[in-house]
Amino acid sequence: MGRKRNNFYMRSIFLLALCIFGLLQYHNFNYLDSRDTVLGDAVTNDSDDAILAMVPAPLHKYLTPHSRNHSGTATTGTLGVLGAPLLLNSSSSGAATATTISFDVYHPPNISEIKRQIVKYNDMQLVLNEDTFGPLQNDSVIIVVQVHTRITYLRHLIVSLAQAQDITKVLLVFSHDYYDEDINDLVQQIDFCKVLQIFYPYSIQTHPHEYPGVDPNDCQRNIKKDQAMISNCNNALYPDLYGHYREAKFTQTKHHWIWKANRVFNELEVTRYHTGLVLFLEEDHYVAEDFLYLLAMMQKRTKDLCPQCNVLSLGTYLKTFNYYTYHSKVEVMPWVSSKHNMGFAFNRTTWTNIRKCARHFCTYDDYNWDWSLQHVSQQCLQRKLHAMIVKGPRVFHIGECGVHHKNKNCESNQVISKVQHVLRIARTSHQLFPRSLTLTVPSLSKKTKLRKGNGGWGDLRDHELCLNMTLATR
C-alpha cells in the first residue's frame, strides 16, 4: 500500500509540474505575441514626420516629390514627404522667410511623344549604375516591379529596397504601363543597385481610343449579345462567360504581367544567360531588410526541404505577424493564386514550362493574371506549381487602393507605419536573418478545386494579343 501511495504522489507531482510548465510556456508565448501586437498598434504614429523619422536620412530623397507638375510661380522650395511645402530660407533672426521662384509652365508629353520615348527606352535597354556595381551575374537575383501610377507607394518600396542586405548585387527592373516623367525621375535617382526600365507598349495610355484601349465601336459591358449583334459593335460575338464585354482597364494588368515576364526572360540582352531567380513585386509592396538573405537560404534548402518546389514565396496577406514563432519557419504546398501571388520567385526553367502553356493562360476567361497562372498549373503543367512559403513574411502589401479596392484615403500612411513598426520590433528582437530554416507541416486544407474564371476575358483580340506577347523575339 505504501509503495502504491508513493507512486500516486510521484505521478501527481509530475503532472502538476507539467501543468505549471505548460502554463508558463503559454503565458510566455502570449506575452510575446501580445508584445508584437501591442507595440505594432500602440506605438504606431502614421504622421508624415513619424514615417520620415523611421527612414535613414540619406534615403529621404526618395520620399521628396519635386515640383514638375506645378506651374506659374511658387513661394516655397522642395516639397515634403507627401507634398507639404518646406520653406527655402530663414532670416538671421531665425524667422522663416519665403522665397518666390518663377519657372516655366510644365507641359507633359503628348501621346506621340510618349510612344517615341517608350520605343527609345525599350530599344536602348540601358542598365543604370552598371559602371558602379558591375555586370549582372548569371545567378544573381532579378527583381521585377510592376508599376502603374501610385508613386507614393513606389517611393516607400524603393526606400525599403535600399535598406536590404545584398541589394547591390541585384538587377532591379521597373516595368511600367504608364509613362510618367515624375516616376521616371524617381526611378533614375536610384543609386544603390543596377536599374533597368521597360515599358509595356500596348497600354491604355498610348491607345486611348483604339484597341487595346477603348475603341468607340466596342460593345458596352452590359449590352445583351443579341443587341450587340444588331449594333454590329466590334466584339459582339465574344462576351465573357457571364455575358459581359471587355473592359480595357481590367484587361491591361494581365497583358502587362505576361508581357513583362516574357520580356525579362526572353527578350532582354542583359538576361540572355541568366539562370537565377526572378522575384516579382508590385509598386505597393514593401520588403524587409533580410528578404534577399532569406530568399537565398530558401533556394539553397529547396533540395532537401522541398525537391518538388519550383516557386518561392516571401509575402502574405495576414493582418498580424508573429515573428517570434515564425521568423525562421517555412511551409510547402501547391501554389495558390490568392495566397502566394505576392513576392514570389521562380527561375527560367519554370518560366519555360509556363510559356509552353501560354494558350491556357491567354484563353482562360479570367482577367486576373494570378488566377490564370493557377489555371495553367492545374490544367497544363506536368510539374505543377509548388511553393515554399515563409511564414514570417518578408514582403508586405501597403496599398490601400488599386484595381479592386477604393478606400476614401488612397494615400493612407496607416499601413506603411504599421509595417515599419513591425519590422523595427523584429529587428530589435533579433528575429530577422535567421541562422537556419525549419519546415513546418501546413494545416490540412481542402484540395484546391478547379474554379470557374472571373470572366472579363472573352474577347478574341485579348487572346491573340496575349499569345503574341509570349513569343521569344531574341
Whether 107 has a binding-site annotation, put simply, is: no
Whether 391 has a binding-site annotation, put simply, is: no
Whether 150 has a binding-site annotation, put simply, is: yes
Whether 256 has a binding-site annotation, put simply, is: yes
Whether 105 has a binding-site annotation, put simply, is: no
Whether 255 has a binding-site annotation, put simply, is: yes
Whether 215 has a binding-site annotation, put simply, is: no
Whether 149 has a binding-site annotation, put simply, is: yes
Whether 421 has a binding-site annotation, put simply, is: no
Instruction: Provide the CA 83 distance to its chain's centre, in angstroms.
Output: 24
Whether 285 has a binding-site annotation, put simply, is: no
Whether 397 has a binding-site annotation, put simply, is: yes
Whether 214 has a binding-site annotation, put simply, is: no
Closest CA to 345 of 404, 418, 261, 449: 261
Whether 284 has a binding-site annotation, put simply, is: yes
Which residues line the annotated binding site? 146-150, 177, 252-256, 284, 397
Which residues line the annotated binding site for Mn(2+)? 284, 397
Which residues line the annotated binding site for substrate? 146-150, 177, 252-256
